[in-house]
């Protein structure tokens, strides 16, 4: 039900339409019979007004919002005009025997009625638009001249006080220059942004910002545009998504900042989603480290694939509670949260015996390099002994596969964390070879699939959240070394490829003990990442916000690697997924070494534990003092 104010506006609209309909009768009679008195007789005038109100009801003519009059509204006006003129003529003939003054009168009446109803609506909308443009607003250029630009301009036209005015558009193609969308000119291509902005600056019409209307614009094109905008002191922002704009006048036209993920220049890798669904659907799945960045995303994606039961295991109560709350009603009655430490072998065995998982994703680990350097025995017990506990318990209860989440820091490691993860890889590789031997003999065996990748943007403790906090505090942004590089990918992409690797790794034809490596693209310089984040905040690097170099920390190296020199990459059938040639050790030998390392850790003898680790991982070149020697930057690796 309309409130009294809305009802009054609707009644006013109906009265205005009736008056215009009466005027249309007068105008039509004068056009049909120029020499006759158009005001006589009065009955056709009154009936014409009533007929229009009646005929306009099915087309909701009186409820139209004149300030937001659209093409759909004007089509409704045209239909109501035809219906109103027809009803008027039929009613006069049937009820009063009054024939049209001329054969052309019905057509003239229809056209006159449509014109008198349309012109005030269009005029009112244009008048409101002109008044809105008198309000102060920032001037922008839209980047993209497709559906997104069309929807954004349409939404702006409905605003009484638009938050910004559009001076022009930059297109992604060459065939659009010189054309117009909603009267706004297309000034040129995105590749010509520097020249166009310089010309506008010379004309004193430089916009305040560039607004991206294409949600898919990212990578190299966006990076170049960011540099052109920075040179002119402009911000680059994103428009609301087309699906948000399609909601009409109530939509808020808030412009969003570009996020650092947009600048990764990574194409989404196609996944075999049917095979991934078959891997998970109807299975009992357990995820360790379920509250972490990778673990929680694994939980989200696995939960969407309809497992028979899902167990979320973590030793952090708050992190576990967060992902549990996020799942809400998903898998109600078919999921369980478990607080447990993977270093507690007895507890892990009990959990596995109760859960009986078919598939285990092992994402629990201590991953912060400097922190593990300061607490080496904790890192070794968690990342090595903890991994063995999970793998042995899963195998004992008949799990079909366990997936180990590893890291590029395990290749030619210089940190305790990286060397520990390499040792975990070795154990899982040896276990996988043993499983393959059993499978060949038609005996039960658990596949161990190891997946190695680099840094995940925005993960807990990673560089992006650190830079965000430093930016919020006004800087400076701290970078350890000007030459430091890292591989990056988004958490959603990483987990999607982990699931894809799990499918491939469970295939009987895959090499024993092979490690799957996600194609991380090209490495990114951390200092370039810092500069980009400053630009995304609308600030200038080294002017508004300083960048300070603090030196490498213990355990760090300048360049990460994804393949060891003795494990050259092998292709798989899936883009974005490679396999490292197996480089394994004997299961019994690795297991004994883990026992010895764990014993030294429990005795708080870190030096002896690290010495044992060094014998098992001979390429471990411990950077205990934060020194970046050339050997650590460039030897024995495939990047």
Q: Which two tokens stand for residue 69?
A: 């009059």
**Burial class of residue 330 in the structure, from the number of CB atoms within 10 Å of its CB (0-12 exposed, 13-18 middle, 19+ buried):** middle
**Which residues of the chain form CATH 3.40.50.720?**
136-258, 273-455+489-520+561-638
| H-only helix segments in 134-272 | 147-157, 193-202, 219-231, 242-245
pTM score, two decimals?
0.69
> What is the largest distance, in Å, between two alpha-carbon atoms of the chain?
116
The count of other CB atoms within 10 Å of the CB of residue 604 is 8
Is 164 exposed, middle or buried (CB count within 10 Å of its CB: 0-12, 13-18, 19+)?
buried
Phi-psi region of 178 (alpha: psi -120 to 50; beta: other; left: phi over 0): left
Quick check: 298 and 363 in contact, CB under 8 A?
yes
74 preceded by a cis bond (ω within 30 of 0): no
Q: Are strands 455-456 and 447-453 parallel, antiparallel or unpaired?
A: unpaired
CATH class of the domain at 136-258: alpha beta
What b/e sequence results for 121-160 when a residue is b if at least 16 CB atoms lie within 10 Å of its CB, and e otherwise? beeebeebbeebeeeebeebbbbbbbebbbbbbbbbbbbe
CA trace torsion 361, 366, 370, 372 (10° rounding) = -140
Backbone angles phi, psi at 73, to 5 degrees: -65, -40
Q: Are 86 and 106 in contact (CB under 8 A)?
A: yes
> Cα dihedral angle (81, 86, 87, 93), rounded to 10 degrees?
150
Mean pLDDT in consecutive groups of 10 residues from the start of the chain, 639 residues: 59 79 79 70 73 75 63 75 79 71 78 81 68 62 83 78 84 75 84 90 88 76 82 84 59 72 64 90 96 94 95 95 92 93 97 97 94 96 97 95 92 93 94 73 76 78 81 88 83 88 76 73 83 80 88 80 66 76 80 96 96 94 72 41
Contact (Cβ atoms closer than 8 angstroms) between residue 555 and residue 370: yes
- Regarding the domain with residue range 273-455+489-520+561-638, which homologous superfamily does it belong to in the CATH classification? NAD(P)-binding Rossmann-like Domain (3.40.50.720)
Of 609, 639, 635, nearest to 621 by C-alpha is 635
Query: Is 409 an annotated catalytic residue?
Result: yes
- Beta-bridged to residue 122, according to DSSP, are none
* Residue 10 CB partners (closer than 8 Å, separation 6+): 2, 62, 63
From CA 612, how far away is CA 430, in angstroms rounded? 18
Q: Is 356 left (phi over 0), alpha (psi -120 to 50) or beta?
A: left
Q: Closest by alpha carbon to 249, among 128, 147, 140?
A: 128
Q: Which one of 409, 421, 525, 557 is the catalytic residue?
A: 409
Closest alpha carbon to 517 in 536, 537, 494: 494
CA distance 306 to 235: 43
Render 23-63 in DSSP notation, one character per residue: HHHHHHHHHH-TTS-TT-SSHHHHHHHHHHHHHHTTTTGGG
Q: Are 112 and 81 in contact (CB under 8 A)?
A: no
Q: Report strand pairing: 577-580 vs 569-571.
A: antiparallel
pLDDT of residue 442: 57
- Residue 458 has phi, psi (to 5 degrees) of 80, 5
pLDDT at 116: 83
pLDDT of residue 244: 66
- Burial class for 95, CB neighbours closer than 10 Å (0-12, 13-18, 19+): exposed
Report the pLDDT value the prediction gives residue 602, as an integer from 0 to 100: 96
């Amino acid at each position: 039900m309309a409130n009294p104010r809305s009802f009054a506006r609707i009644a006013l609209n109906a009265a205005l339409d009736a008056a215009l309909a009466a005027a249309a009768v007068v105008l039509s009679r004068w056009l049909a019979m120029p020499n006759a008195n158009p005001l006589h007789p009065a009955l056709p005038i009154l009936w014409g007004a009533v007929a229009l109100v009646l005929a306009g009801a099915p087309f909701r003519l009186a409820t139209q919002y004149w300030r937001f009059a659209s093409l759909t509204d004007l089509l409704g006006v045209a239909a109501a005009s035809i219906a109103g003129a027809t009803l008027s003529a039929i009613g006069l003939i049937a009820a009063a025997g009054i024939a049209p003054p001329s054969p052309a009168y019905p057509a003239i009446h229809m056209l006159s009625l449509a014109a008198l109803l349309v012109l005030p609506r269009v005029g009112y909308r244009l008048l409101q638009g002109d008044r809105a443009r008198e309000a102060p607003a920032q001037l922008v250029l839209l980047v993209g001249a497709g559906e997104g630009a069309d929807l954004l301009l349409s939404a702006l036209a409905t605003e009484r006080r638009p938050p910004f005015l559009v001076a022009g558009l930059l297109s992604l193609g060459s065939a659009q220059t010189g054309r117009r969308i909603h009267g706004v000119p297309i000034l040129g291509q995105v590749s010509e942004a520097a020249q166009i902005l310089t010309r506008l600056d010379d004309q004193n019409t430089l916009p305040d910002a560039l607004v991206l209307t294409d949600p898919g614009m990212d990578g190299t094109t966006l990076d170049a545009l960011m540099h052109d905008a920075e040179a002119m002191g402009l911000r680059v922002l994103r428009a609301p998504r087309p699906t948000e704009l399609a909601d009409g006048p109530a939509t808020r036209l808030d412009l969003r900042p570009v996020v650092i993920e947009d600048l990764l220049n990574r194409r989404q890798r196609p996944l075999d989603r049917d095979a991934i669904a078959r891997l998970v659907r109807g299975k009992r799945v357990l995820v360790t480290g379920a509250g972490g960045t990778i673990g929680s995303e694994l939980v989200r994606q696995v939960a969407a694939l309809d497992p028979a039961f899902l167990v979320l295991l973590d030793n952090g109560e708050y992190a576990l509670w967060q992902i549990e709350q996020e799942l809400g009603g998903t898998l109600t009655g078919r999921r369980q949260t478990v607080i447990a430490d993977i270093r507690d072998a007895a507890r892990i065995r009990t959990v596995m015996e109760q859960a009986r998982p078919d598939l285990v994703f092992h994402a629990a680990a201590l991953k912060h390099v400097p922190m593990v350097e300061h607490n080496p025995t904790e890192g070794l017990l968690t990342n090595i002994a903890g991994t063995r506990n999970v793998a042995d318990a899963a195998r004992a209860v008949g799990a079909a596969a366990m997936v180990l989440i590893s890291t590029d820091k395990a290749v030619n490691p210089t940190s305790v964390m990286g060397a520990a993860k390499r040792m975990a890889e070795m154990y899982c590789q040896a276990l996988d070879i043993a499983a393959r031997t059993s499978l060949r003999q038609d005996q039960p065996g658990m596949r161990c699939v190891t997946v190695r990748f680099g840094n995940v943007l925005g993960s807990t403790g990673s560089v992006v959240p650190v830079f965000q906090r430093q930016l919020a505090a006004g800087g400076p942004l701290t970078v350890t070394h000007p030459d430091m590089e890292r591989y990056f990918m988004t958490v959603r992409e990483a987990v999607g490829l982990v699931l894809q690797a799990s499918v491939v790794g469970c295939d009987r034809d895959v090499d024993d003990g092979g490690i799957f490596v996600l194609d991380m693209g090209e490495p990114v310089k951390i200092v370039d990442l810092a500069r980009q984040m400053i630009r995304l905040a609308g600030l200038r690097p080294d002017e508004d916000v300083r960048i300070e170099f603090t030196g490498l920390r213990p355990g760090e190296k300048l360049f990460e690697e994804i393949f060891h020199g003795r494990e050259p990459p092998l292709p798989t059938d899936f883009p974005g997924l490679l396999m490292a040639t197996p480089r394994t050790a004997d299961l019994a030998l690795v297991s004994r070494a883990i026992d010895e390392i764990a014993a030294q850790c429990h005795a708080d003898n870190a030096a002896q534990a690290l010495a044992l680790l060094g014998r098992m991982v001979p390429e471990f070149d411990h950077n205990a003092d934060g020194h970046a020697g050339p050997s650590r930057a460039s030897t024995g690796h495939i990047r």
